[in-house]
Structure 1
Amino acid sequence: MTTTHGKIIGGSFMIGDLDPARVATPEHFSEEQRMIGSVTRDFIEGEVVPHDEHIEKLDYDLTLKLMRKAGELGLLGADVPEQFGGLGLDKVSSTIISETLAKGSSFALSIGAHVGIGTLPIVFFGTPEQKQTYLPKLATGELIAAYCLTEPTSGSDALGAKTTARLSEDGKHYILNGSKLYITNAGFADIFIVYAKVNGTDFSAFIVEKGLPGFTLGPEEKKMGIKGSSTRPLFFEDVHVPAENLLGEIGKGHLIAFNILNIGRFKLAAGCVGAGKEAIGLAAKYAGTRQQFNTPIAKFPLIGKKLAEMNMMTYVMESMVYRTAGLFDEALQDLDYSAPDSGAKAAKAIAEYALECSINKVFASEALSFVVDEGVQIHGGYGYIQEYKIERIYRDARINRIFEGTNEINRLLIPGTLLKKALKGELPLLQKAQALQSELLSLMPGQVFDGVLAEEAHLIAMAKNIFLMVGGIAVQKYQLDLEKEQEVLAGLADIMIQVFAAESALLRTRKLLAEAGESKAANAIDMTQVFVRQAFDIVESRAKEALAAMESGDTLRTQLSVLKKLTRQNPVDTVAVKRRIAARVIKGEKYIV
């Protein structure tokens, strides 16, 4: 695995291997981390879930009351440094909180927007004075934050924002004009992180307090899901924001926006893990009690297959998310948040794993969509009725593929970011691709695999080679015009996503296997065996599609014959394996590792 000063370089998973012992996994949570999860779970189940129906009716007062209770427990200050009133927890711990909060549905989104994209801009980029002024109150919930980037004419194209800011003649204020759209927490937030272009050109960020003259809110949006969260537009008409509330530097707002979005994407994935686990529990319990033809439907193999696949996808999500949390912990462990250059260092550390954040976001949001869809299907007609929570989880999950940059935009970012790192000399990606070309023309003998998951490890290695092969052809063919070939880029992104997902599951399972033995790791081994093959089939499909888009005739036939060498695998009876996984989930009536 490629490293710098002992730290793993973002994207290096595509060209190297990692020691399983180095990966953060849920099986290695410390006692303190488990306690944090327990406190969060008790709060959600004891304080939030009983009021779920009222929260869904958009009761601002109740949401604020509960958010402040969360603040008293420290759940709002996990990512706030201790010197500014927070707990300063490691990223694995704050990820546990994000995952566990997911059972709170819309309330989890209100907290997530506050602690993540609302508070972190000040944590990472605020001046010492700004941190001292706002962070202690944000950590307790005395102040609630919102993040304001999207506009009526700019969503994924954030830098196309039309909101402007100009410095007043006396230099004491920036005068904001414009509007923002789809702002979470807008109805009850106290401070707003607002992006605007100084003099219409320099994209910058500001801390804007509510109540300023000229700052108004539009009505609540009527949404498909997440109905208990506040989502309103904002309007700025000659709003005078104190000059000292400029966040970061003029013209450097993109550093804040994009790095905070990276964190937002990652935290979104953590929430998907929690929602997936809840959906599995609901579906497994229902399948055990619902009878058809005088038999619990859990005993029908096709229902068991669904539960097995739901459990497997959630295991993979969870493995990816905590692996990435561990990367953040390594990158940020030496950061002094009180230092003047902490913002620049934080931005660099976060940006290092930008593509991993996008991978987490895309995979988790789509995996959760699959999980909850199957959950509704298991419930049958009852799954379409609002009385059953699976219906709400289904509706709420849909926004995840749009939030924090659409999955289409993220798919373009994933290979694009990797290529930029290669062109900067941070990763020997192009050299690896060139070296592979000569190897692929030689005869590749068949292999004999010895040991648990040995063939799965081989398939992941071959998937990486497939990426290098197809990506190398794409770079040679299109060069700087590659960014215009969105279908090819999306195919390369899907290969990278499946590689990271499959490798994350493999590393976690191997770590569990080494420490607990084959018996205790049996379910994890089964899930990894099935998922790696499922992922490998997707890799092969995307590679064929991309090659056919780039070449034709004899050249294409030659490339497909090379691809065939890389995609050899021994068949596995996945039906039998999934039945074993299903039996464990049905017995436990919950998510099972």
Structure 2
Amino acid sequence: MGRTVGGSFIIDEIDYKSTVSPEDFTEEHRMIAQTTEDFVEGELVPRDEEIEKLDYELTVEMLRKAGELGLLGAEVPEAYGGLGLDKVSSTLINEKLTKAGSFALSVGAHVGIGTLPIVYFGTEEQKKRYLPELATGAKIAAYCLTEPSSGSDALGAKTTAVRSEDGSHYVLNGTKQFITNAGFADVFIVYAKINGAEFSTFIVERTMPGVSIGPEEKKMGIKGSSTCPLILEDVRVPAENLLWEAGKGHLIAFNILNIGRFKLAAGCLGASKDAIGLSAKYANERTQFGRKISSFPLIAAKLADMNTRAYVLESMVYRTAGLLDHALSEVDSDSKNAGSQSAKAIAEYAIECSINKVFGSETLDDIADEAVQIHGGYGYIQEYKVERIYRDSRINRIFEGTNEINRLLIPGTLIKRAMKGELPLLQKAMGLQAELLQPMPAQVFEGTLEQEAHLIAMAKKIFLLAGAQAVQKYQMKLEQEQEVLSRLADMMIDVYAAESALARTRKLLDRNGEAKAGLAVNMTTLFIHEAFGRIEEKAKEVLAAMEEGDMLRTQLSVLKKLTRSIPVNAIELKRQVGARVVQAERYVL
């Protein structure tokens, strides 16, 4: 299979058989998932309250136990003491750990943004020195990008690095803020500007003179994770601890953030499933008006919506894991250009990673909110876990680049690629204009999900219609039209989500037949019709922002050609999905 071009989903029809989904898990994948679940249930759940009170010693002890099981070294190559597993495996670990609440964040910061910069961009000597101990948990890593005055504007960092006259070391000065794991980390990936100009990355050790840690932040949620400032005062960092090359820190930062965004979505998936299970179980136990509240249609409809969103998110996450696996499998880790190759492979799917991050974090927020609602007043009480899930979920829309920043990046990156000739976006838009001049044939849909596949094809054309109009009208000033970009992003997010669910469900139909894939078909149908309605609405808003009068009426008449559809009985579909969730008392497909 050739590599799928990042962002091409918005203009091309995909081969659903080539997408990765949970149904493709190997026996090894299932064993890794089970090992993680056993660790969570056996070691973490019984000590949940202690971990939540931020016991450094206990957290580090549990991290090292996770290391003994290989859960910290999944993405570290075997040559450096890790397991060298694929992205699907590490995604499964990430998803399953989420039931452990804050502890999952401690692990995620260590294995992802803390360790992967060295895996992908480290020299041979750096890898040999640090990776074996990071893979076992003998040393814990943290990632230090954010500063008091620079969050989303990462390149506005003020931390400086000055090289010594003899070239043997750099002197670092500055403060990093909101650093996960800072309270007990041994190794810090630190971003600083050499001579105030070249944005670069350094491996800093806790024991280096001048390194100090500020007090723990008092947070709304994720209370069992450490979040402190890192203070650097004339820290002498050996020159060999410069990661990759001077001035290339932005490439490391942005690509590691891409991976972080994707991993965040996997974590949101795990927490979403946990919330669904807790809510369905509670709904079956809680009685009002002489009936279990799970028997009330509006409660069942909530569970149906929650399960459907989680199914779509799961489909997206593992589809994206497959894309990243394929791209990174082509990197020659022994090459001198391994860093450049890794950066290029990860950057290929920057759009998809941002889409996962936005959809995943907002899905979990919606599910957590409904979980509290189903629990009623008890959902507001700390004794019930959904209260914590609700608080913990909120940070995800801020972590790894705010959702607002990611919404600007999604269409912005797509348009930049089109301008460079990497994607035939404008050519497709011109072809669409010619197509729309022709009469639209009447559509007859008979097969399962035929209309839904058609709606996704139309949604891509709607995006092209609105997007091309925006590029033509605003040209180089489009990046200043944040409201328009945000709506284009929402359209792209819904297309990727809907298409991911459709591809997975088609594979299920091929494998199991309609009788066994009925629930997946119902959820896919529900989501695609709802997403299509949102896409139509966003397109109208974009067009109305750019045109008025007769020109707007003309554009809306063209849009109407692309939005013809036959509504489905969403109420009945949700009843069927809700009934299955109530019966299973967990996320189900």
Q: What's the TM-score bracket when you normalise by the shorter of the two chains?
A: over 0.9
What's the CA shift for 1:425? 1.0
The one of 332, 335, 341 aligned to 1:336: 332
The one of 273, 276, 279 aligned to 2:269: 273
The one of 429, 441, 455 aligned to 1:433: 429
* Equivalent pair of 1:474/1:550 in contact (CA under 8 Å): yes
Tell me how far apart the structure 1 counterparts of residues 499 and 432 of structure 2 sit (CA, whole Å): 20
**3-state SS of 2:314 partner:** helix
Tell me how far apart the structure 2 counterparts of residues 384 and 446 of structure 1 sit (CA, whole Å): 52
Matched, 1:365 2:373: no
Tell me how far apart the structure 2 counterparts of residues 202 and 476 of structure 1 sit (CA, whole Å): 36
What's the CA shift for 1:421? 1.1
CA RMSD of aligned residues (A): 0.8
The one of 451, 456, 470 aligned to 1:455: 451
Match of residue 280 from structure 2: 284
What's the CA shift for 1:213? 1.6
Match of residue 104 from structure 2: 108
Match of residue 145 from structure 2: 149
Match of residue 133 from structure 2: 137
Match of residue 398 from structure 1: 394
Tell me how far apart the structure 1 counterparts of residues 469 and 334 of structure 2 sit (CA, whole Å): 47
Residue correspondences, number: 589
Match of residue 94 from structure 1: 90
Q: Deviations over 1:381-407 (max 9, x none)?
A: 000000000100010000000000000
Matched, 1:20 2:16: yes
The one of 125, 131, 137 aligned to 2:121: 125
Q: Match of 1:539, as an amino acid?
A: I
Tell me how far apart the structure 1 counterparts of residues 437 and 181 of structure 2 sit (CA, whole Å): 57
What's the CA shift for 1:333? 1.4
Q: Match of 2:404, as an amino acid?
A: E
Tell me how far apart the structure 1 counterparts of residues 361 and 270 of structure 2 sit (CA, whole Å): 12
Q: Percent identity?
A: 70
Match of residue 489 from structure 2: 493
The one of 565, 569, 581 aligned to 2:565: 569
Q: Deviations over 1:559-584 (max 9, x none)?
A: 01111111111011100000000010
* Equivalent pair of 1:441/1:562 in contact (CA under 8 Å): no
Q: Match of 1:521, as an amino acid?
A: A
Match of residue 245 from structure 2: 249
Tell me how far apart the structure 2 counterparts of residues 9 and 438 of structure 1 sit (CA, whole Å): 25
What's the CA shift for 1:426? 1.1
Tell me how far apart the structure 2 counterparts of residues 479 and 334 of structure 1 sit (CA, whole Å): 36
The one of 518, 535, 541 aligned to 2:514: 518
The one of 172, 178, 199 aligned to 1:176: 172
Matched, 1:507 2:503: yes
Tell me how far apart the structure 2 counterparts of residues 433 and 499 of structure 1 sit (CA, whole Å): 17
Match of residue 479 from structure 1: 475
Matched, 1:225 2:221: yes
**3-state SS of 1:187 partner:** coil
Tell me how far apart the structure 2 counterparts of residues 87 and 430 of structure 1 sit (CA, whole Å): 44
Tell me how far apart the structure 1 counterparts of residues 67 and 497 of structure 2 sit (CA, whole Å): 34
**3-state SS of 1:96 partner:** helix
Q: Deviations over 1:260-304 (max 9, x none)?
A: 000000000000110010000000000001000110000000000
* Equivalent pair of 2:529/2:567 in contact (CA under 8 Å): no
* Equivalent pair of 1:9/1:352 in contact (CA under 8 Å): yes
Q: Deviations over 1:124-154 (max 9, x none)?
A: 0000000000000000000100000000111
What's the CA shift for 1:337? 2.3
* Equivalent pair of 2:494/2:535 in contact (CA under 8 Å): yes
Q: Deviations over 1:240-270 (max 9, x none)?
A: 1111000011011001000000000000000
* Equivalent pair of 1:123/1:337 in contact (CA under 8 Å): no
Tell me how far apart the structure 2 counterparts of residues 282 and 96 of structure 1 sit (CA, whole Å): 20
Q: Deviations over 1:76-111 (max 9, x none)?
A: 000000111100001111110010011010000000
Matches within 5 A, 1:296-311: 296-311=292-307
Tell me how far apart the structure 2 counterparts of residues 177 and 31 of structure 1 sit (CA, whole Å): 49
Q: Which runs of 5+ in 2 are unaligned?
A: none
Matched, 1:556 2:552: yes
**3-state SS of 1:234 partner:** strand
**3-state SS of 1:519 partner:** helix
Tell me how far apart the structure 1 counterparts of residues 219 and 491 of structure 2 sit (CA, whole Å): 33
Match of residue 204 from structure 1: 200
Tell me how far apart the structure 1 counterparts of residues 143 and 182 of structure 2 sit (CA, whole Å): 9
Match of residue 42 from structure 1: 38
Q: Match of 1:191, as an amino acid?
A: V
Tell me how far apart the structure 2 counterparts of residues 206 and 571 of structure 1 sit (CA, whole Å): 56
Match of residue 163 from structure 1: 159
What's the CA shift for 1:43? 0.2
Q: Match of 1:159, as an amino acid?
A: L
Q: Which runs of 5+ in 1 are unaligned?
A: none
Tell me how far apart the structure 2 counterparts of residues 85 and 419 of structure 1 sit (CA, whole Å): 41
Tell me how far apart the structure 2 counterparts of residues 443 and 156 of structure 1 sit (CA, whole Å): 47
Tell me how far apart the structure 1 counterparts of residues 89 and 321 of structure 2 sit (CA, whole Å): 9
* Equivalent pair of 1:81/1:337 in contact (CA under 8 Å): no
What's the CA shift for 1:438? 2.0
* Equivalent pair of 1:290/1:297 in contact (CA under 8 Å): yes
* Equivalent pair of 1:308/1:582 in contact (CA under 8 Å): yes
Q: Match of 1:121, as an amino acid?
A: P
Tell me how far apart the structure 2 counterparts of residues 158 and 56 of structure 1 sit (CA, whole Å): 30
Match of residue 534 from structure 1: 530
**3-state SS of 1:235 partner:** strand
Tell me how far apart the structure 2 counterparts of residues 141 and 64 of structure 1 sit (CA, whole Å): 8
Tell me how far apart the structure 2 counterparts of residues 137 and 211 of structure 1 sit (CA, whole Å): 16
Tell me how far apart the structure 2 counterparts of residues 165 and 334 of structure 1 sit (CA, whole Å): 34
The one of 314, 317, 320 aligned to 1:318: 314
Tell me how far apart the structure 2 counterparts of residues 203 and 450 of structure 1 sit (CA, whole Å): 57
What's the CA shift for 1:329? 1.1
